[in-house]
Amino acid sequence: MSVTTRFAPSPTGRLHVGNIRTALHNFLFARKHGGRFLLRIDDTDRERSTAEFDQAIRDDLEWLGLRFDDVVRQSDRFALYEREFEKLKAAGRVYPCYETPEELELRRKVLLGRGLPPVYERKPEGSPVPEGVAPHWRFKLDHESPIAFTDLIRGEQHFDPKLISDPVIRRADGSWLYLLPSVIDDIDLGVTHIVRGEDHVSNSAVQKQMFAALGAEPAAFAHEALLVAAEGKLSKRLGSYGAEHLRDEGVEPMALLSLLARIGTSQPVEAVASLDALAADFDFSHFGRAPAHFDPHDVELLNAKLLHHLEFDDVADRLPEGASEADWLLLRGNLARLDDYADWQPVLDGQIDKPVLNRDDRLFIHDAWAVAGAIDWSDEPWRALTEGLKEKTGRKGRPLFMPLRLALTGRESGPEMAPLLARIGRERAIHRLDAISFD
């Protein structure tokens, strides 16, 4: 079994969340069933397809952990496309056309004005050929063979080929559109399953006849509902929100992949630590037909949840030098991004910004300084400190704990104070209390 994911040049040159989601679903399906995951790069547009574009795709997939078994560039396969094109020409399944885009648009408007479907009208055989005009080429649909296939997500699909225009497969300059080359690739590479967006359903119907015209069994299709942003824009218009942006923001790849694997399905969206775990539960029967709503805030929430459960060995090579397992376990529950770890290092080992406290709280911290110097720091210093202060000042609850947290950490929130104070240590804690109480 083989599945393939196709990337064409994008305006940004990077992978956005829409095509990451499709690539991920191809990958998970292949991983679950022991198949091959093939990367196909549609680089036939020479102006937009550059070495940088190729490398950007590789970099993004590498960061995401979506390892492909093989890569195919369509620019390397022109001889194959030409050979199969000639077979179709000999069989009468492709034919030249000479209309300009303006002529086609005008005819389309005329048909719509008459209440007719704007389907391309074939010219009668023997029609005159304009001199000095290079043709574009269309695939000739078999109007007498209704198109039907069972979609792995959408179920039974039926199309009347009479209501579909013969698709253009080759431009007048000889360059290829993706429809026919993709089918030729699928046949040559033994692709068995194709996962893509539902906006390609009608293309799949056309390609089913292309498979037949080339004497091959079509691959199985799965068309997933489109990804829709919070403001209603389709995934292809999410612009720069993709792999490069998220990597720069310090997002864990598995946070994004956990969301994209489950969004739009009946499965719960939750932080999953590995692709193998996502693949084990992957099933097209879980996919819905309604658009999948994508909210970047969900990525942030999953990123935090993922970090809160990662073990030290999972992140050790990405933490600042000298980071310890004990410190990671102490801090991880308060991190939204891995880079936040470095922000906590001064709390543990360095200097903190002195908080602004009112006079009463400064007097309270003076009492805390005195108590801290008298307690036994070898056994639960936080409990000893707070109990001593309750007895000395009568404070309890937030009026007791918040000034202490601010004085000792410079922050209003963070890890539990008991293990944190033990990690800060006696000398540093007393110094911080002293700096405020005698201000």
Contact 259, 269 (CB under 8 A): yes
Please check if 236 is assigned to a binding site: yes
CA distance 154 to 159: 14
Structure tokens at 308: 């809160």
Which residues partner with 138 through β-bridges? 95, 168
Structure tokens at 121: 């009208």
Structure tokens at 117: 């479907």
Which residues partner with 97 through β-bridges? 136
Residues belonging to the chain: 439
Task: Enumerate the known binding-site residues.
Answer: 236
Task: Enumerate the known binding-site residues for ATP.
Answer: 236
